[in-house]
A and B are shown apart, each in its own frame.
Chain A
Amino acid sequence: MTGGPTVNAYLSTVAATMPGPPRARRDILAELHSGLLDAVDTHRSAGLTAAAATQAAITEFGDPRQVGDAFRPHLAMIQARRLALTLVATGPPVGLLWTAAALASHIAIGYGPPWQWPGAPPLSPAFFPVVGAALMITVWSALATLAATGRLARWLPASARLAAATAATAGLGAAAADLTIFALLASKLTSGPGTLDPFPIVIAAAASLIRLVMARRAARTCLAIRATLTTQQA
């Protein structure tokens, strides 16, 4: 028994008002489906026909748009937490890959101030402050998101809107850091590749590119979900 087209239409309307991670949405819809079938059973036990019981169950559940709306803060929190966790998990490996690439290429490390290594490209002096600032913003925003969306949320006056904003900031910060690394690499390649070791650089660049695309897309999703939250759903 699936509850028929009326129940499915109800769930479709709920789904249409709930942006967010597909797996979390599927889980919510499965729970609502199961609850609606329970309600249909209850009304059938009270003597209603199948059609009347289904209609009564849907009336009992309330306006599907309002039900979908009420899940938005929860979904925003899940999306924000997932992005923050991904950034925290991918940050150190990507950093290590670039460090390994720099060591293999004999650049920047072990030559006094890192921006003055022999063969430093023109962009080098600007690179370190920009990457440093982007990474600091990313780390702090990701940690704030984890605090606001985890168990600590009980004691924090954090909101889904704020969590979505801090997660998007972390994602855009990581994307900015990756872009800056690519800008330095391009600057080095055009001013003279010198001792660049292609293999570790290609590996690190591939990892950075994947993270850049992922972080940018996830940050945009966070901002899109945040835009659907009303201030009452803060």
Chain B
Amino acid sequence: MRAETLKGHLDGLLLASLEAGPRHGYAIMEALRAGSGGQFDLPTGTIYPALRRLEQAGLIKGTWSQAGGRQRRVYDLTPAGRRTLAAERGTWRQFSAAVTALLEPAPRPVTP
């Protein structure tokens, strides 16, 4: 799936990937790939600027830590990030329900 298609949803997906617990950048990318069945295969380098933007907005918090024999910047959701994720989820449910209702072919009326 192209990066443009994901535009507007990436922030919510990144927040969702941290819901289960802290992850570093590459692990977040792998979670997006695995969670989407390989559909979301963005250039990995694009994840990092998005993470910094979310951190600047106070939605996630990044800290350097030693993990797996290597220094990694590990991100975790902040309380504001959890609230934003819940709001994004609600908006997405409404939006996707409306789009599905319009895109899916309506069942043909049954004629006697």
Which residues of A pack against B, CB within 8 Å?
14, 27-28, 30-32, 34-35, 37-39, 42, 60-64, 66-67, 70-71, 73-74, 77, 149, 151, 153-154
Contacts and interface: CB of A to CB of B under 8 A. Distances in A.
25 contacts: A30-B73, A31-B25, A31-B73, A32-B48, A34-B24, A34-B70, A35-B24, A38-B26, A42-B26, A61-B44, A61-B45, A62-B45, A63-B45, A67-B43, A67-B49, A70-B49, A71-B48, A73-B53, A74-B49, A74-B52, A77-B56, A149-B56, A151-B58, A154-B57, A154-B80
A35 B44 contact: yes
A35 B53 CA distance: 17
A34 B45 contact: no
Contacts of B57: 151, 153-154
B82 interface: no
Interface residues on B, range: 20 to 34
B48 A31 contact: yes
A61 B43 contact: yes
B100 interface: no
A38 B45 contact: no
Interface in B19-70: 24-27, 30, 43-46, 48-50, 52-53, 56-59, 70
Contacts of B59: 154
Contact of A62 (B30, B44, B70): B44
Contacts of B44: 35, 39, 60-62
A62 B30 CA distance: 15
B25 to A, nearest CB: 5
Contacts of B70: 34, 37-38
A117 B74 CA distance: 61
Interface string B69-105: 0111100000010001000000000000000000000
